[in-house]
Structure 1
Amino acid sequence: MSRHTSDTSLRGPRSAATQERVLDLSPFRDIIKNLCGLSFDEARTATLKNGIQSRMSLLGLACPARYLELLKGDEDEFNNLVSLLTINETYFFRDPAHFQLLTERLVPALIASKKPAERLRMLSAGCSTGEEPYSIVMALMEKYGESARNLFSVTGIDIDSSAFEIAKRACYNGHSFREFPEDLKSKYFDSLGPDLFRIKGTVCKQVEFQLLNLLSETYPVSLQNFDIIFYRNVAIYFDAEDQKTTFSKLSALLNENGYLVVSSTETLAHNIGIMSLIEIDNQFLYQKKLDIGIGNRRTESGSEPRPRASGRSNPASRRSAVTARTVHQDRAAPLSTKPVEKTEVSEQRRPNCLFDKALSLAEAKKYDQAVDLIDAIIAQDPSFCKAYTLKASVLINMKELDKAEGTCLICIQKDQWCLEAFLLLGMIAKIRNDDEAALQHFKESLYIQSSCWIAHFYIAEIHRLRGELNRAYREYEIVTTLLKKGNIKEHGLTFFPLSFPMDQIAHLCNHNMTQLRKKLT
């Protein structure tokens, strides 16, 4: 590709409004997808449009068709646009639970299986501006001290050349230090001036960076035999097919029994039978096991795999997972295989018809009658999970929290992937002011359905009330993004009078984000 020089003949007097009218994003989506694999669906239209318009304005171009031709012939400009479109929300020790999992569970287990002089190899896939791989090194140094230099090696890869250069310079400002302990800043960084810090050489030497498109046909030979891969908040840029392709490629880079860590909202999207989805200390991740059987890869033939909810006698308490548990297992056999004798049931007495009547009673606040009718439905069809969640919802409104909790647990025994049951358990815990249990249940809801905006909303509310402002802001932002897709009714609840008007959710989130921005600046 040739380099571009600004051509004043390409400039024009068109207004921004005119430019927006004639901006057809389809060919831009196609060229970006074809050249680097990044996908921009309808939910990310604004990001793509704003990026294109920003670059056109900077170059003094008024015609989208001219800019499209420029992208086809100028590699530098194409890279500039990609850099603008792939700006990641990244900072040191983002999602600290993952780094605690790394140092306290994954690394000790892997070291025990290694030869004395053999290093653990770790990969940060989609490392952006470098905060993640450097965080890995600092976490390991905190755990193992100076000996960490000889125990580990870390590699960061990314497609964005601009981010790549920032990572190699290792200079960062305050934006990268959200939730970063001050004592570690002085320990691992040198001050270069007001709000500018450079990572010390002892950390930088532990990280190697390589420029790479994850969708490349082949990877360098050096990218092999990793023990742990961090692949967090990257898959959002790929469509479903490319997500599967990339996940398969990353799996091939792992050693046997190696781990792949993804963000909580991406967990289910990658559960495609390539690796085992496991849970350690309340965190879901993947492990490469060469002996995975077909029965463990899929729950049912032709069905969409969903994470298995953890059974527990007291759902309000946190689990202590001493050993990892494989999340996907075959469904339990039916309690009885005895043929059911056919009986004539009037249309009015069928469970679905009775359910509609019970729901109407609940909406009319005739709770006792609703519960009696739901019990009759369950007696007719004990496998009717919606009846259990409706009963639990009604019991919550009756302030019968223990009974509601027990009903949810029965439902989960019958369907271990029931989104509504986990949402209700989260709400019960929230009413009890048990924030930790509430967060756990809402996160479990997201493992089942990452687009469940109401789970994100309640997580945001809990973080806001606890003063965890950055986390709250991030969750509110996710809610607004999901609601822009028009799925406000897809909240996962059959019946639960929310404490806020449904049509005001987006407004409420934006208001809270505005208030949080003021506190964060």
Structure 2
Amino acid sequence: MRAEPPLARFRGILEKRLGWTTTDIEAVPILPVLAERAAARRLSETDYLNRLAGREWPEETTVLAERLSITETYFFRHGDQFRALSRQVLPERLAARAGQRVLRLLSVGCSSGEEAYSLAITAHQLRPAPDWIISVQGVDANREMLRRAGQAQYSEWSLRETPADVRERWFRRTGAGFDVVDEVVASVRFAEHNVAGPDEPRVWQPGRYDVIFCRNLLMYLTRETVATLLGRITDSLAEGGALFLGHTDTLGSHPDGFTVEQFGDTVYYRRVARRPAPAPEPRPRIPERPRRARRPPEDPRTRALELLAGERFAAALDIVPPDDLLLRGVLLAQLGRLEEAREVAQRLIDAGVPNPDAHQLLGVCLEPGDPEPAQGQYRLAAYLDPSFAMPRLRLGLLARRRGDAREAADELSAALALLPRETEERITLFGGGFGRLMLSSLCRTEREAAMSRGTRR
């Protein structure tokens, strides 16, 4: 039997390891890369291909992703999509997230970070108040590009489509080019992730994202990889969330789980609720043999807290124990049912037992309509439990919103000192879906911004 030519074999391995589909003419010629990498590993091309095709070789797969990726990009690329994002999609998502005051976006195939930072800048421009949390996740398989993204330093050429006023507000000119401002950098995280690899729970979580950008990537992937990636994207988009693809990619006119939306000359996809599968026909019940021991049922409260952490608020509300008023109130608030949540908080307060968490919940319910009484509730919560970090965080963010730099810095410093000892349950209840590290990062960023503003005055 004739041996498979090295080029064809190398293509097949790239499809398996990276999920890439290759054509007869690659944008990056792959035969020179094969020769280079075989020499670097001190192997013949045949031995190198045998090793690559065998057991997992993640360090070499990473190098191949770096050498073969097409990485050219720039800020606000395809401006028509960013206009749709800023004028139509994000205003709708901000209204939908008013109860949570959190906006999450994802850049798949983020390369050197320009797209992820463009998403963050657009979201920061539109956020209604400084206490809104903006979180952008960028993922890519190219480790070198992710290293550059983390530096947040760019040349003039990368900003060639960036308006002058955006440059002035969101970048700092340096001798080497431009740095993204710290406020935006703090809201963006990058992770190495191969979309052809196993599921990555840190990235893909049900209903997590308001917006996902996955542009000019699908056309390079095999059909199987595309199907897997689109399944993860669909599950990870919140209902009403938006998916933006590259101009060469399409989901067709009637994609499962989406409606096709148009704004100006651009098209994007809006996530809709999937129809539940029909219930199976009941089958005759067959008596089971007695078992020695049954697994104890999962504690409903524990499961409800897990669902809350995963932002599955309606599912959590369905199972929360009736007597757990605090957790019920938090879930109602997250669902935007603020009046019902406020009544629950008031019931807890009226019970006559000092309850700092109930005052924190009432503050959360009052804040969207009138921040002043919310401040009073947060101060009560902090007074009743001086170790409670979350009210100090809210007080600091409210002070930032009204321009009181000194109080903002004091309260955020207090929150930052208390957060390492805050309980996991309180972070789940009142952290808006963010963990201890992200909340600490938010405190530092907002405190530095407040102190900087106070110094300028």
- Under TM normalisation by the shorter chain, which class is it? 0.5 to 0.7
8 Å contact kept, 1:276–1:292: no
- Name the structure 2 match of 1:86: 69
- Name the structure 2 match of 1:214: 195
Which stretch of the first structure deviates more once superposed, 32-41 or 284-293?
Answer: 284-293
Mapped to 2, the partners of 1:69 and 1:291 lie a distance apart of: 44
8 Å contact kept, 2:103–2:134: yes
For 1:97, give the aligned amino acid.
D
Q: 1:289 to 1:39 in 2, by over 3 A?
A: same
For 1:101, give the aligned amino acid.
A
Candidates 56, 61, 64, aligned match of 2:45: 64
Mapped to 1, the partners of 2:27 and 2:75 lie a distance apart of: 28
Give the 5 Å matches for 1:270-309.
272-291=255-274
Q: 1:164 to 1:149 in 2, by over 3 A?
A: farther
| 1:113 equivalent in alignment to 2:96 | yes
* TM-score when normalising by structure 2: 0.53
Secondary structure at 2:6's aligned position in 1? Answer: coil
**Deviations 1:400-434 (CA, angstroms, capped at 9, x unpaired):** xxxxxxxxxxxxxxxxxxxxxxxxxxxxxxxxxxx
Which stretch of the first structure deviates more once superposed, 48-57 or 277-286?
Answer: 48-57
Candidates 120, 130, 137, aligned match of 1:137: 120
Secondary structure at 1:44's aligned position in 2? Answer: coil
Deviation at 1:263, TM superposition (A): 1.4
**Deviations 1:412-467 (CA, angstroms, capped at 9, x unpaired):** xxxxxxxxxxxxxxxxxxxxxxxxxxxxxxxxxxxxxxxxxxxxxxxxxxxxxxxx
For 1:124, give the aligned amino acid.
S
Mapped to 2, the partners of 1:95 and 1:280 lie a distance apart of: 13
Deviation at 1:45, TM superposition (A): 7.5
Give the 5 Å matches for 1:50-449.
50-55=32-37, 59=40, 63-69=44-50, 71=52, 75-144=58-127, 147=129, 150-194=132-176, 196-221=177-202, 223-224=204-205, 225-268=208-251, 272-291=255-274
Q: 1:104 to 1:46 in 2, by over 3 A?
A: closer
Mapped to 1, the partners of 2:149 and 2:166 lie a distance apart of: 19
Q: 1:74 to 1:265 in 2, by over 3 A?
A: closer
8 Å contact kept, 2:195–2:225: no
Structure 2: gaps (5+ residues): 278-457
Mapped to 2, the partners of 1:252 and 1:261 lie a distance apart of: 15
Deviation at 1:214, TM superposition (A): 1.9
Higher relative contact order (CA 8 A, sep 6+): 2
8 Å contact kept, 2:211–2:237: yes
Mapped to 2, the partners of 1:131 and 1:270 lie a distance apart of: 30
**Deviations 1:64-105 (CA, angstroms, capped at 9, x unpaired):** 224435646753333112111112221111001111111110
8 Å contact kept, 1:267–1:284: no
Secondary structure at 2:60's aligned position in 1? Answer: helix
For 2:192, give the aligned amino acid.
L
* TM-score when normalising by structure 1: 0.47
Mapped to 1, the partners of 2:69 and 2:130 lie a distance apart of: 32
Deviation at 1:191, TM superposition (A): 3.4
Deviation at 1:62, TM superposition (A): 8.6
Mapped to 1, the partners of 2:127 and 2:111 lie a distance apart of: 26
Give the 5 Å matches for 1:492-511.
none
Indicate the percent of aligned positions where both proteins have the same amino acid: 27
**Deviations 1:136-158 (CA, angstroms, capped at 9, x unpaired):** 1112233348x366242111111
Q: 1:26 to 1:117 in 2, by over 3 A?
A: same
8 Å contact kept, 2:234–2:271: yes
Q: 1:251 to 1:186 in 2, by over 3 A?
A: same
Deviation at 1:280, TM superposition (A): 2.8
Mapped to 2, the partners of 1:45 and 1:111 lie a distance apart of: 39
8 Å contact kept, 2:204–2:233: no
**Deviations 1:28-64 (CA, angstroms, capped at 9, x unpaired):** 122222223222233437632343345457x396942
Mapped to 2, the partners of 1:270 and 1:53 lie a distance apart of: 43
For 2:193, give the aligned amino acid.
L
Q: 1:143 to 1:236 in 2, by over 3 A?
A: same
Deviation at 1:286, TM superposition (A): 1.0
- Name the structure 2 match of 1:468: none
Secondary structure at 1:216's aligned position in 2? Answer: coil
Q: Paired residues, what number?
A: 270
Mapped to 2, the partners of 1:280 and 1:219 lie a distance apart of: 32
Mapped to 2, the partners of 1:267 and 1:135 lie a distance apart of: 22
Mapped to 1, the partners of 2:197 and 2:41 lie a distance apart of: 33
Structure 1: gaps (5+ residues): 1-21, 295-521
Over the aligned positions, Cα root-mean-square deviation in angstroms equals: 3.0
